[in-house]
Amino acid sequence: MGERRPAWQPLLQLPLRACLLSGGESRRMGRDKALLPHPEGGTWLERSLRLLAQLQMPITLLSRHPAHLDLAKALQTELKARGVCLERIAEPPPWEGPLLALHRLMEHHPNERLLLCPVDMPDLSLAALHTLLAAADDPAPAQEPTRLYLAHDGARLQPLLGLVPSSAPIRTHLAAAVGRGERRLQSWLVELPCQAVPLDPCAVRNVNRPEADQPA
């Protein structure tokens, strides 16, 4: 009898991969958010990678910052011992926001289901991630290879936390948008079938300013 998989895994037609986005400039924070100390120990970046590793799927870190890539390199042995492969990608210029970053991830990981996660959700919980993954536990992924599942905090979408299929239709659609100069993630999403997944607002709190850098 094979190893038992999480309840949400068997119905997904594309293999899952977690992708941590950590390429921002942190201008509003005034210092590098990814390197801020986390109450659970280590930095926000390290905490995010260890959290994603609990899902037991491959992880890709995309960042323009050498310090982030070096920090992740130091974690590779630890995560490998837990059965998790961590890949580091240095994002090349131009650096023009998350939509272009997503395009690059899709080109690098075609035909996978990407669990996007931003580095600046320091209170993100394993329960919230499981809820997001469980939302795809229906026949929809097989029937609709373009459906996206995006986190919702009760007031608005948090589109940097979500499941995005890197299927051929999505890659083609995104490449066309990027090619014509689109750089706003929200503008691209309005043309796609998206399902909002309600999550604990505390768990998906996006922190951009120093005064918000306190546990909820």
- As a whole number of angstroms, the distance between CA 99 and CA 110 comes to 16
Q: What is the DSSP letter of 143?
A: H
Q: At 113, phi and psi to the nearest 5? A: -105, 110
The token pair at 104 is 């690059």
Give 28-64 pLDDT, tens digit per residue: 565 789 999 999 999 999 999 999 999 999 999 999 9
Residue 10 resides in a domain? no
- What pLDDT is stored for residue 206 in this prediction? 83
Please tell me which residue, 117 or 191, carries the higher pLDDT value: 117
Name the band, by pLDDT with cuts 50, 70 and 90, for residue 26.
Answer: low
pLDDT at site 65: 95
* Residue 172 belongs to domain spanning: 16-212
Q: Higher confidence at residue 70 or residue 6?
A: 70
Q: How confident is the model at residue 199, as a pLDDT?
A: 97
Across the range 20-31, mean pLDDT stands at: 71
Q: What is the pLDDT of residue 147?
A: 87
| Confidence band of 113 (pLDDT split at 50, 70, 90) | very high
140 domain-assigned: yes
Please enumerate in sequence order all residues whose Cβ is within 8 A of that of 156, keeping only pairs 6 or more positions apart, or say none.
none
Residue 193 lies in a domain: yes
Element (H, E) at 47: helix 44-53
Question: Is 7 among the domain residues?
Answer: no
The residue among 196 and 6 whose pLDDT is bigger is: 196
Q: Is 9 a domain residue? A: no
pLDDT at 125 over 80: yes
Question: Would you say residue 119 has pLDDT above 60?
Answer: yes
Residue 48 in any domain: the answer is yes
pLDDT of residue 142: 45
CATH (domain of 64) = 3.90.550.10
CA 112 from centroid of its chain's CA atoms: 13
Does residue 2 have a pLDDT over 50? no
DSSP 150-210: EEE-SSSEEEEEEEEE--HHHHHHHHHHHHTT---HHHHHTTS-EEEEE--TTTT----SG
Is 0.85 topped by the overall pTM? yes
pLDDT of 74 > 90? The answer is yes
Residue 3 has pLDDT above 80, yes or no: no
Residue 50 lies in a domain: yes
The fraction of the chain above a pLDDT of 70, given in percent, is 83
Report the number of distinct structural domains present in the chain. Answer: 1
Any bridge partners for residue 37, and if so which?
Answer: 43
